[in-house]
């Protein structure tokens, strides 16, 4: 009859076990990356593949040191960061409320659904020529592309979240005389968080693609511009620096989302 | 204990509930001519085969379903929708997974905009009463099924309803936990003396808990019999083996069997 015997697991024990297994897998990942870099370096060193195509880790590090010492390179990074942040924030600021409202209101959902579904699968980069004509080759056009690419995964995830609400919870709330607004606030909104974060994660990847493709297509500054330029001038190492910068940004941003996810879903069963 | 002169706590008068089955487009009569009354402080169990409309009856009392005919009166007032004077313990725990036990128990009063230091104290009292003291900051997933149902019960009690409705709250629990929870409910009820309607399809559960058992029959749902359970309180699980108890179970079982035979699937 004691209370403790009704609990199946003690949370403390669980946590320590989880950290332990995680540390083990981190070592495996680190080793695999190191092995990959060594192989790459060796292939390049013995010219098994033309170094002009693949450069080498050491040359990339050298190129990175010179590039990062150059304030011009930081300007390129700054431009890209600016375009990305603005486009992405816009995508969230418009996409989240729109998706949630669509999921909540059937009529509104019917109005926007055909457009969202069609545009979701449309490769937005195909619209680049028009966007460049309309917004010029400066930052504005890149912001628009990032927005368009990130917007749809976010809207779709918010919509989806609202359509999977637990009807039992809604029934319980109604029995306590809950209003529609109360149900929205206490059940619908919190339920969307995990879905939203997933949509934001997908949006991040799309946004990063957008920034590079947008700058490659037509621009005067930015990391995609610099990268294309380096590639065209056979500065393979410099080009790879750009690729690494984008990849690392993506990993960091995804990591941040992961942290937020942990913070908001501490209630979730493992 | 029961004053026959006073107005009943709950009265169902000529109650019919019909609805349209959306798949077949046909009109279905879920409840037909239900006449019954419940006194203040009574613990009522409703048993019956599936399809007898017992859940429909409860949903009408809580205010989810509108009667097609007749009415239900609570304290002589017609029920027209969910109200602060009733609360329900659901078959599934229906707890907000992102809220801990304390905040889940307070959910009902929060929705009714009655969060005060008083209702907070009340929540604490009921958490203690259902045996969850020390678990206030645990999340639902950290609790066993039985414990989740205790939270479900504490949440319904914290709004201080004048009528408590319980919709097969123990049906998803394993046999042992179920028996244990029955015992706990008897204890909690003896402390609160809340007028309660408990729905179950398990006859021994109904006899063990109830002052009166309403037996419902199917197609359409109707009241077959109203049986007063004359077993002394406080009750302990061992009375389930006593001949007197078993006679009640037998009698109700007979009634349900007869009903099923009438339907042609005995």
Q: Based on the domain organization, do A145 and A122 belong to the same domain? A: yes
Confidence (pLDDT) at A11: 43
How many structural domains compose chain A?
2
Return the residue matching tokens 């002052």. Answer: B211
Q: What is the mean pLDDT of residues B98-113?
A: 96
How far is it, in rounded angstroms, from Cα B201 to Cα B175? Answer: 14
Report the 3 state secondary structure along chain B: CCCCCCCCCEEEEEEEEEEECCCCCCEEEEEEEEEEEECCCCEEEEECCCCCCHHHHHHHHHCCCCCCEEEEEECCEECCCCCCCEEEECCCCCCCCCCCHHHHHCHHHHHCCCCCHHHHHHHHHHHHHCCCCCCCCCCHHHCCHHHHHHHHHHHHHHCCCCEEEEECCCCCCCHHHHHHHHHHHHHHHHHHCCEEEEECCCHHHHHHHCCEEEEEECCCEEEEEEEECCCCCCCCHHHHHCHHHHHHHHHHHHHHHHHHHHHCCC
Q: How many CA atoms lie within 13 A of B175 on its CB side?
A: 1
* A173 vs B contacts (CB less than 8 Å): 107, 111
Confidence (pLDDT) at A3: 43
Cis ω on the peptide bond leading into residue B234 (within 30° of 0)? yes
* Residue-wise pLDDT tens digits, B11-60: 999 999 998 888 888 888 999 999 999 999 999 999 998 888 999 999 99
Contact B245, B236 (CB under 8 A): no
Confidence (pLDDT) at B265: 56
Contacts of B2 (CB under 8 A, 6+ apart): B39, B42
* Domain at B1-85+163-266, CATH from 3.40.50.300, 3.30.530.20, 3.40.50.720, 3.30.1330.90: 3.40.50.300
Q: Based on the domain organization, do A210 and A232 belong to the same domain? A: yes
In DSSP terms, which residues pair with B12 in a beta bridge?
B36, B72
Local structure of residue A124 (DSSP, 8 states):
G
* Higher pLDDT, residue A16 or B246: B246
Closest C-alpha to A200, from A161, A159, A154: A154
Q: Token pair for residue A94?
A: 């418009």
Q: Kindly state the percentage of chain A with pLDDT values over 90.
A: 67
Map out the domains of chain B as residue ranges. Answer: 1-85+163-266, 92-160
Q: Based on the domain organization, do A34 and A76 belong to the same domain? A: no
Q: Based on the domain organization, do A122 and A18 belong to the same domain? A: no
Contact A11, B142 (CB under 8 A): yes
Q: Does A170 touch chain B (CB under 8 A)?
A: no
How far is it, in rounded angstroms, from Cα B118 to Cα B122? Answer: 6
B-facing residues of A in 188-247 (CB < 8 A) are: 190
Complex confidence, ipTM: 0.90
Q: Does A177 touch chain B (CB under 8 A)?
A: yes
Q: Is A104 helix (H, G, I), strand (E, B) or coil?
A: helix
How far is it, in rounded angstroms, from Cα B266 to Cα A24? Answer: 61
* Residue-wise pLDDT tens digits, A12-56: 444 455 555 666 788 999 999 999 999 999 999 999 999 889 999
Closest C-alpha to B151, from B130, B172, B168: B130
* A169 vs B contacts (CB less than 8 Å): 94, 96
pLDDT(B100) > 90: yes
Q: How far is A191 from chain B (nearest CA, A)?
A: 9
Category of B264 on φ-ψ map: left (φ > 0), alpha (ψ -120 to 50) or beta? left
Q: What is the mean pLDDT of residues B192-218?
A: 94
Instruction: Specify the CATH number for the domain of residue A241.
Output: 1.10.3720.10
Q: Does residue A269 fall inside a structural domain?
A: no
Give the pLDDT band of residue A260 (cuts 50, 70, 90): confident
A-facing residues of B in 199-218 (CB < 8 A) are: none
Q: Does residue A76 fall inside a structural domain?
A: yes
Q: Does residue A137 fall inside a structural domain?
A: yes
Q: Based on the domain organization, do A3 and A29 belong to the same domain? A: yes
* Cα–Cα distances in angstroms (integers) from residue A217 to residues A13, A208, A233, B255, in the given order: 54, 14, 16, 81
Q: Token pair for residue A268?
A: 């979730």
The number of angstroms, rounded, from the C-alpha of B36 to the middle of its chain's C-alpha atoms is: 16
Q: Does A178 touch chain B (CB under 8 A)?
A: yes
Give the pLDDT band of residue A5 (cuts 50, 70, 90): very low
* Residue-wise pLDDT tens digits, B147-172: 999 999 999 999 999 999 999 999 98
Closest C-alpha to B83, from B72, B91, B94: B72
Q: Does A174 touch chain B (CB under 8 A)?
A: yes
Q: Based on the domain organization, do A89 and A175 belong to the same domain? A: yes
CB contact under 8 A, A176 and B159: yes
Of A1, A182, A265, the CB nearest to B111: A182
Q: Based on the domain organization, do A50 and A164 belong to the same domain? A: no
Q: Token pair for residue B249?
A: 């179970």
The kind and range of the H/E element at A73 are helix A71-104
* Higher pLDDT, residue A193 or B72: B72
Contacts of A54 (CB under 8 A, 6+ apart): A40, A43, A44, A236
Instruction: Give the global pTM.
Output: 0.79
Q: Based on the domain organization, do A44 and A63 belong to the same domain? A: no
* A190 vs B contacts (CB less than 8 Å): 96, 98
Q: How far is B265 from chain A (nearest CA, A)?
A: 32
What is the overall mean pLDDT for chain B?
Answer: 92
Of B82, B96, B98, the CB nearest to A174: B82
CB contact under 8 A, A186 and B84: no
Q: Based on the domain organization, do A141 and A258 belong to the same domain? A: yes
The number of angstroms, rounded, from the C-alpha of A64 to the middle of its chain's C-alpha atoms is: 24
Domain that holds residue A236: 56-264
How many Cβ pairs within 8 Å bridge chains A and B? 73
Q: Does residue A171 fall inside a structural domain?
A: yes
């Amino acid at each position: 009859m004691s209370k403790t015997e009704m609990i199946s697991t003690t949370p403390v024990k669980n946590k320590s076990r989880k950290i332990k297994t995680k540390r083990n897998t981190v070592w495996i990942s680190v080793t695999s990356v190191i092995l990959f870099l060594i192989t790459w370096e060796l292939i390049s060193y013995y010219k098994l593949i033309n170094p002009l195509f693949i450069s080498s880790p050491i040359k990339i590090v050298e190129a990175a040191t010179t590039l990062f010492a150059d304030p011009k390179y930081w300007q390129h990074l700054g431009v890209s960061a600016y375009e990305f942040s603005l486009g992405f924030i816009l995508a969230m600021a418009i996409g989240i409320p729109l998706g949630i409202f669509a999921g909540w209101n059937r009529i509104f959902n019917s109005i926007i659904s055909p457009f969202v579904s069609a545009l979701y699968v449309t490769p937005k980069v195909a619209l680049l020529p028009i966007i460049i004509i309309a917004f010029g080759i400066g930052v504005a056009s890149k912001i628009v592309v990032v927005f368009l690419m990130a917007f749809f995964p976010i809207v779709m995830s918010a919509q989806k979240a609202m359509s999977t609400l637990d009807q039992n919870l809604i029934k319980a709330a109604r029995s306590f005389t809950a209003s529609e607004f109360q149900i929205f606030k206490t059940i619908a909104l919190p339920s969307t968080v995990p879905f939203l974060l997933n949509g934001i994660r997908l949006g991040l990847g799309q946004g990063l693609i957008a920034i590079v493709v947008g700058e490659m297509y037509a621009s005067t500054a930015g990391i995609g511009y610099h990268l294309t330029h380096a590639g065209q001038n056979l500065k393979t190492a410099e080009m790879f620096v750009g690729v690494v910068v984008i990849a690392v940004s993506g990993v960091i941003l995804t990591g941040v989302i992961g942290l937020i996810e942990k913070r908001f879903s501490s209630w979730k069963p493992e | 204990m029961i004053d026959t002169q006073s107005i009943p706590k709950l009265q169902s008068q000529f109650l019919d509930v019909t609805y349209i089955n959306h798949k077949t487009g046909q009109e279905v009569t879920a409840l037909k001519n239900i006449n019954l009354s419940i006194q203040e402080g009574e613990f009522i169990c409703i048993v019956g085969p599936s399809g007898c409309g017992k859940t429909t009856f409860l949903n009408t009392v809580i205010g989810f379903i509108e009667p097609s005919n007749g009415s239900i009166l609570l304290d002589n007032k017609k029920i027209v929708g969910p109200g602060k004077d009733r609360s329900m313990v659901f078959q599934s725990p229906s707890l907000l997974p992102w809220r801990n036990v304390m905040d889940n128990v307070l959910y009902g009063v929060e929705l009714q905009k009655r969060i005060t230091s008083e209702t907070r104290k009340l929540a604490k009292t009921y958490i203690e009463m259902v045996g969850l003291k020390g678990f206030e900051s645990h999340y639902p997933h950290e609790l066993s099924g039985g414990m989740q149902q205790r939270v479900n019960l504490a949440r319904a009690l914290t709004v201080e309803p004048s009528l408590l409705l319980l919709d097969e709250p123990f049906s998803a629990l394993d046999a042992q936990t179920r028996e244990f929870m029955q015992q706990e409910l008897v204890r909690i009820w003896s402390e609160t003396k809340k007028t309660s309607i408990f729905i179950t399809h398990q006859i021994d559960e109904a006899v063990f808990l109830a002052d009166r058992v309403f037996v419902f029959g199917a197609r359409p749902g109707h009241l077959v019999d109203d049986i007063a359970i004359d077993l002394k309180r406080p009750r302990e699980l061992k009375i389930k083996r006593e001949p007197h108890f078993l006679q009640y179970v037998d009698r109700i079982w007979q009634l349900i069997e007869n009903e099923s035979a009438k339907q042609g699937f005995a």
